Amino acid sequence: MTTLGQLRKTALSFPETTERANASGAITFTVRDTEFATFTSDQHVELRLVAEDSDRVRAEHPTAAPMTGGVRVPITDINGQQLNHWVRRAWLAHAPKRLAEQNAAADTAVAGRVGDLPKAIGNPATRALVSQGITTLAQVAALSEAELHALHGVGPKAIRILAEAIAADGHR
């Protein structure tokens, strides 16, 4: 079952995303103060999507309902992979062009071919870093272990490999 925790982790994995709660208990995710996803107190996810994407969500999920500027679906009726996909599409629809292009570039990032990031961290970690605009060990060195761990795709092994590479390169 998909949860608020998964929605939160996915939404906050995108650059410049913030979370805020309102008095009614809804939790809204924004990029540069523009809403792209909300978790409502009645356990629904509201996604601000372009019309074509809203139509696809409604076709795939019979319990999804249209709303102004998007779609509303019970969180229990959408699996984790689908949620990740549609939250990303909502973020892309509202992110500034520079951020959206940077995130899209991450789709084609290959371990060992981005800046001086080590190949051994693997493709998921490489894509996660590139989606944040991080392409060098010097940029990684400026982040805390907690910040790295918060990136979807960067696990303990990648963090260890990055720490070893940073130490060997003299960044810390």
Residue-wise pLDDT tens digits, 72-104:
999 999 999 999 999 999 999 999 998 888 888
Residue 156 in tokens: 């303990």
Please check whether residue 40 is in contact with residue 26, taking contact to mean a CB–CB distance below 8 angstroms. Answer: yes
Domain ranges for the chain, please list them. Answer: 4-102, 107-169
Please check whether residue 95 is in contact with residue 131, taking contact to mean a CB–CB distance below 8 angstroms. Answer: no
Give the pLDDT score at 103.
82
Cα gap 157→104, rounded to integer Å: 25
CA 98 to each of CA 131, 132, 134: distance values in angstroms, whole numbers, following the listed order: 11, 11, 14
Enter the pTM of the model.
0.76
Model pLDDT for residues 11-60, shown as the tens digit of each residue: 998 889 999 998 889 999 999 999 999 999 999 999 999 999 999 999 99
| CATH code that applies to domain 107-169 | 1.10.150
